[in-house]
């Protein structure tokens, strides 16, 4: 009798647990189920070690979840509030800090930055605004040799300035937009010069403490940080640990660490007027123009553009074992934050794109019939891009053109013509006219000239 009773109780408990598990499984939203599959597939194939995703819309948390591992070595699961290195997502904090100083009338966006720092611009005027929107043309220190020099220097951010000062400018100020870490390092040094505080102290006092961002800080190699996540690199041999980084090298261009929850606090505060005044906020999110009046899609520490029919304000970050993405769609009241602890083929864009179009309608570009003779734009074009001087050949084909970068076998076909001598390649706009090949890549706008 006792044995029968025991068996009955055991079966009842098993059925209860089974029902509970079924109930828990059934509560997962289609968005969560899709995200689970998306991230788990990438983890199972060793393309990423782990990730955290947060999606918030109209005062409702649609998804907040972590996947994979914070440490592969220790088989440590990713915590719900994993602390990630966010790289260039840092730039929006630097931009807001500068605008806060403008608001306090301690500097002006039109000031030549050499008013605050010694730097030989070789006669050029470069404004604070041009540092913020990447149109300064300043050279950069990004070679392996320069990186090694800076790694073991006591003040690598100051050494960076010395390393780039003798170099040739990438372009004249305002004539193009080439993503520029040097410019944002200079902005951090300006913040320190004006405030008398370290960059880290100023951000802590001005933003992190008032907004309750207790899990956001300047990244450290020595400080014990709760739920700190290890970074990895995807290689042909599999995932490998990222090497040592002196965080004073990226400095104010990309040295912060944070969590998805803290970044949501920041983004909500910034976009609802709780960080800087309304005029300063408008300045921060209003894209700039080049000297010739050409609009670009980068504002000040943030991009702002139409993403397949939806206005997006945000920023990417990447490097040293991490990739990050922050997106805000004001018309849809939608925030998406994705943090990965792997630098590899699948970045924040890959995951946030997939999830974005589960929530929003993707509006494709309207294709137009070609309205000019493309034979007239055939030729070889050369100019400065972010990484190198690039040369490419343009050839006319039926209903489109092809382009081939010199030294590469790959030939791309451009056939999505949107009018006014412009093609779309994903989000890239390519305009070819007046003997110029112009590329608007959201984070870069460069111009290649036709060779005679």
Q: How confident is the model at residue 387 (pLDDT cuts 50, 70, 90)?
A: confident
Burial of 291 (0-12, 13-18, 19+ CB in 10 A): exposed
pLDDT for 142 equals 86
Decide: 354 and 75 in contact? Cβ < 8 Å.
no
Mean pLDDT across the stretch 239-244?
95
Q: Does residue 20 register a pLDDT over 90? A: no
pLDDT for 373 equals 95
Q: Does residue 389 register a pLDDT over 60? A: yes
Could you tell me the strand order of the sheet in which 76-77 lies? 76-77, 60-71, 50-57, 334-340, 322-329, 310-319, 303-307
> pLDDT tens for residues 435-447?
999 999 999 999 9
**DSSP H or E stretch at residue 5:** helix 2-26
Global pTM reads: 0.93
pLDDT for 347 equals 87
Q: Does residue 202 register a pLDDT over 90? A: yes
Question: In this structure, what are the phi and psi dihedrals at residue 219, rounded to the nearest 5 degrees?
Answer: -65, 140
Decide: 88 and 315 in contact? Cβ < 8 Å.
yes
Q: How confident is the model at residue 277 (pLDDT cuts 50, 70, 90)?
A: very high
pLDDT for 335 equals 98
Mean pLDDT across the stretch 180-184?
97
Question: In this structure, what are the phi and psi dihedrals at residue 149, rounded to the nearest 5 degrees?
Answer: -60, -45
Neighbouring CB atoms inside 10 A of 113's CB total 23
Q: How confident is the model at residue 8 (pLDDT cuts 50, 70, 90)?
A: very low
Q: How confident is the model at residue 402 (pLDDT cuts 50, 70, 90)?
A: very high
- Alpha-carbon distance 82 to 115, whole Å? 41
Burial of 278 (0-12, 13-18, 19+ CB in 10 A): exposed
Decide: 36 and 51 in contact? Cβ < 8 Å.
no
> pLDDT tens for residues 327-369?
999 999 999 999 999 999 998 899 999 999 999 999 999 999 9
pLDDT for 26 equals 53
Longest dimension (CA), the chain: 100
Question: In this structure, what are the phi and psi dihedrals at residue 74, rounded to the nearest 5 degrees?
Answer: -100, 5
- Alpha-carbon distance 348 to 323, whole Å? 6
Rg (CA), the chain: 25
Q: How confident is the model at residue 22 (pLDDT cuts 50, 70, 90)?
A: very low
């Amino acid at each position: 009798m006792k044995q029968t009773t025991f068996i009955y109780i055991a079966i009842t408990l098993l059925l209860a647990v089974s029902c509970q598990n079924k109930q828990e499984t059934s509560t997962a939203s289609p968005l969560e189920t899709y995200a689970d599959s998306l991230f788990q597939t990438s983890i199972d194939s060793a393309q990423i070690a782990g990730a955290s995703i947060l999606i918030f819309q109209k005062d409702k948390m649609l998804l907040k979840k972590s996947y994979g591992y914070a440490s592969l070595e220790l088989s440590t699961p990713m915590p719900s509030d994993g602390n990630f290195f966010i790289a260039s997502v840092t730039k929006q904090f630097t931009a807001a800090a500068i605008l806060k100083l403008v608001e306090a009338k301690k500097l002006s966006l039109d000031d030549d930055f050499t008013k605050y720092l010694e730097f030989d611009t070789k006669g050029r005027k470069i404004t604070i605004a041009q540092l913020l929107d990447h149109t300064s043309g300043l050279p950069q220190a990004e070679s392996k040799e320069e990186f090694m020099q800076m790694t073991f220097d006591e003040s690598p951010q100051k050494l960076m300035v010395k390393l780039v000062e003798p170099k040739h400018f990438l372009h004249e100020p305002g004539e193009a937009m080439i993503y520029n870490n040097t410019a944002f390092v200079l902005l951090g040094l300006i913040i320190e010069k004006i405030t008398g505080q370290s960059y880290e102290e100023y951000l802590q006092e001005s933003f992190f403490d008032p907004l309750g961002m207790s899990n956001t800080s300047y990244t450290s190699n020595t400080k014990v940080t709760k739920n700190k996540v290890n970074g990895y690199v995807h290689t042909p041999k599999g995932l490998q640990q990222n090497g040592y980084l002196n965080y004073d090298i990226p400095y104010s261009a990309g040295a912060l660490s944070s969590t998805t929850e803290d970044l949501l606090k920041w983004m909500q505060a910034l976009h609802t007027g709780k960080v800087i005044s309304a005029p300063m906020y408008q300045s921060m999110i209003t894209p700039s123009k080049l000297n010739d009046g050409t609009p670009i899609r980068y504002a000040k520490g943030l991009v702002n553009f139409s993403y397949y029919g939806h206005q997006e304000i945000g920023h990417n970050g990447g490097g040293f074992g991490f990739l990050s993405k922050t997106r805000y769609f004001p018309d849809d009241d939608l925030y998406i934050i994705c943090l990965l602890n792997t630098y590899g083929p699948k970045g924040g864009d890959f995951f946030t794109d997939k999830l974005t179009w589960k929530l929003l309608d993707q509006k494709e570009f309207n294709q137009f019939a070609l309205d000019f003779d493309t034979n007239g734009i055939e030729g070889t074009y050369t100019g400065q891009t972010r990484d190198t001087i690039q040369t490419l050949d343009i050839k006319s084909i039926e209903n489109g053109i092809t382009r081939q970068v010199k030294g590469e076998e790959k030939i791309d076909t451009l056939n999505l013509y949107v009018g006014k001598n412009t093609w779309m390649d994903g989000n890239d706009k390519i305009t070819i006219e007046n003997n110029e090949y112009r590329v608007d890549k959201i984070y870069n706008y460069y111009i290649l000239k036709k060779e005679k």
